[in-house]
A and B are shown apart, each in its own frame.
Chain A
Amino acid sequence: MTVLRLAGLVKRFGANPVLRGIDLTVERGERIAILGASGSGKSTLLRCINFMELPDEGRVEFGGQVVGSERDGRRRYAERELTQIRRQVGMVFQHFNLFPHMTALGNVMEGPLTVLGQDRVQAEARGRAELARVGLADKADAYPAHLSGGQKQRVAIARALAMDPALLLFDEPTSALDPALVGEVLGTIRALAEDGRTMLLVTHELGFAYHVASRVLFLADGLIHEQGTPAEVLKEPRQAATRAFIASHKQFSL
């Protein structure tokens, strides 16, 4: 079953094209790692998928439905429709973006409570279950300021999961973490992958991409420059740019 299909996606910031025509189909259960140098459009691609940024050209199909309607040769998006899409797409941010005025449990309950309109009992049960899934059942009452970076990111993951998303987007989820805390977050994401969740993951952790992703995309200059299985892209890249990128990341590894 196809979760997401992008066709000819273009995004410009002013005159500067960031995405120059992305075609991508995501099947259910796929785990796609997106690699690329900074400025290659990785984050913008994720943000166009849940319409935090509106694409300038191209189409997004979500769950078989084309998003937006075409008028005067331009695609128009109604805020109400985009809100509906975002409910089904979970996003995890580089800087966590937890709500500092709510406890860990409050953060995780917030979506079910406010967006899905669940009652408090139901939302709390769900919230506690998701916190337990990311190994933070005992931190339910802690405020974000009292959590480590790794714990914050795991709460953020639980917050996204509480919405039962059909698709999870991870935007460099470990880039803001101390090296010692990266492992716990990657472990959590890996467990989700093993559960069969559909996910797109922008990352610089090539080893993680190699072991967990089912497909790897390499973005350069706003285009998918190369894609394939992790072994194909990471071990035997065909494109010079991909080879250079991977070499630069391996430079200091043992």
Chain B
Amino acid sequence: MYRWDFAPVAAHLDLLAIGLFNTLRLTGAALAFGVALGLGLALMRLSRRPWAAWPAGLVIEVFRTTPPLVQLFWFYFAAPLVVGVEMTPYLAALVTFSIQSAAFFAEVFRAGIESIERGQWDAARALGMNRGQALRRIVLPQAVKRMIPAFMERAIELMKTTTLVATISYADLLFAANEVSQKTFRPLETYTAVALAYFTVIYGASLLARRIELRLARSGEGTVG
């Protein structure tokens, strides 16, 4: 019977804490850039001008259909050779996961925007709004509410996918776990503790998201005006 002993792991909590901080920093930054960039890509793809729609579509499809590990290697190992840009592991990871999230969010934004009834555009235009005003004031605020579940799902997925950065030696939580388990010879305890950390953060975040959703639902959204 295996005897669990978490004491050696607890002795290295500082390392794990730094790892967790790095994971959260990367996830948070990639989400923020991903949302902003994703909105841009979605608007380009919805544009009637082919020179805007076509490149956006290409970026979205390429990043949605290739494995994240390949993308990461591409930015970290290939980019310096091909375009001559040297990247730190953090920067390479940030660029990869930002664009990858953007590709995903672009489709979420597009679906959200397209789900808004024609009558909303009609009412906005009839008031004399231009396309940008209608989008900003009328369509996006409603679309974003409908996007929250997809957004949360992506945030969770991303936090787990960022574990791939351990492969390019970025000191995220999993990388720290690897280090700790080698120092303590307690891999089971270390990875169990790390799984618990992921669970706590992600479950906490989804509870928060559910509360936000409920609050928004109470403000009257969900019925055709």
Interface string of A135-162 (1 = CB under 8 A from B): 0000000011110000010001001100
Query: Given the complex, which residues of B lie within 8 Å of A97, measured CB to CB?
Result: 117, 119-120, 122-123, 225
Cross-interface CB contact of A83 among B130, B138, B224, cutoff 8 Å: B130
Tell me whether B128 and A84 are in contact (CB under 8 A).
yes
Is B206's beta carbon under 8 Å from chain A? no
Tell me whether A83 and B137 are in contact (CB under 8 A).
no
Interface string of B100-134 (1 = CB under 8 A from A): 00000000000000000101101111111111010
The distance from the CB of B43 to the nearest CB of chain A, in whole angstroms, is 16
The A-contacting residues of B in range 209-225, CB under 8 angstroms, are 219-225
Q: Which residue of B lies closest to A90 (CB)?
A: B126
A37 CA to B130 CA, complexed, in Å: 33
Is B141's beta carbon under 8 Å from chain A? yes
Q: Which residue of A lies closest to B131 (CB)?
A: A79
Is A65's beta carbon under 8 Å from chain B? no
Tell me whether B122 and A93 are in contact (CB under 8 A).
yes
A110 CA to B138 CA, complexed, in Å: 10
Query: Given the complex, which residues of A lie within 8 Å of B225, measured CB to CB?
Result: 96-100, 107, 144-145, 152
Cross-interface CB contact of A86 among B120, B128, B131, B145, cutoff 8 Å: B128
Cross-interface CB contact of A98 among B123, B125, B128, B219, cutoff 8 Å: B123
The B-contacting residues of A in range 203-240, CB under 8 angstroms, are none
Is B142's beta carbon under 8 Å from chain A? yes
A63 CA to B123 CA, complexed, in Å: 22
A145 CA to B224 CA, complexed, in Å: 7
Tell me whether A101 and B128 are in contact (CB under 8 A).
no
The distance from the CB of A170 to the nearest CB of chain B, in whole angstroms, is 12
The distance from the CB of A78 to the nearest CB of chain B, in whole angstroms, is 12
Task: Tell me which of A107, A143, A146, A159 has the highest count of chain B C-beta atoms within 10 A of its own C-beta.
Answer: A143
A8 CA to B127 CA, complexed, in Å: 26
Tell me whether A163 and B220 are in contact (CB under 8 A).
no
Interface string of B134-175 (1 = CB under 8 A from A): 000110011001000000000000000000000000000000
Is A87's beta carbon under 8 Å from chain B? yes
Tell me whether B220 and A143 are in contact (CB under 8 A).
yes
A29 CA to B190 CA, complexed, in Å: 81
Cross-interface CB contact of A111 among B127, B145, B220, cutoff 8 Å: B127
Interface string of A75-99 (1 = CB under 8 A from B): 0000110011011111101011111
Tell me whether A52 and B126 are in contact (CB under 8 A).
yes
Known: A83-B130, A100-B142, A101-B219. A114 touches B224 (CB 8 A): no
- Beyond A99-B225, A100-B142, A143-B220, 19 additional pairs, beta carbon < 8 A: A50-B126, A79-B130, A86-B127, A89-B126, A93-B119, A93-B126, A99-B138, A100-B220, A100-B224, A101-B141, A101-B142, A101-B145, A101-B221, A115-B128, A144-B223, A145-B220, A145-B222, A145-B225, A159-B127
What is B's interface to A at a CB cutoff of 8 Å?
A: 117, 119-120, 122-131, 133, 137-138, 141-142, 145, 219-225
What is A's interface to B at a CB cutoff of 8 Å?
A: 50, 52, 79-80, 83-84, 86-91, 93, 95-101, 107, 110-111, 114-115, 143-146, 152, 156, 159-160, 163
Cβ contacts A to B, 22 pairs, < 8 Å: A50-B126, A79-B130, A84-B128, A86-B128, A91-B122, A95-B224, A97-B119, A97-B122, A99-B123, A99-B225, A100-B142, A100-B224, A110-B138, A114-B129, A115-B133, A144-B220, A144-B225, A145-B220, A145-B221, A146-B220, A160-B126, A163-B127
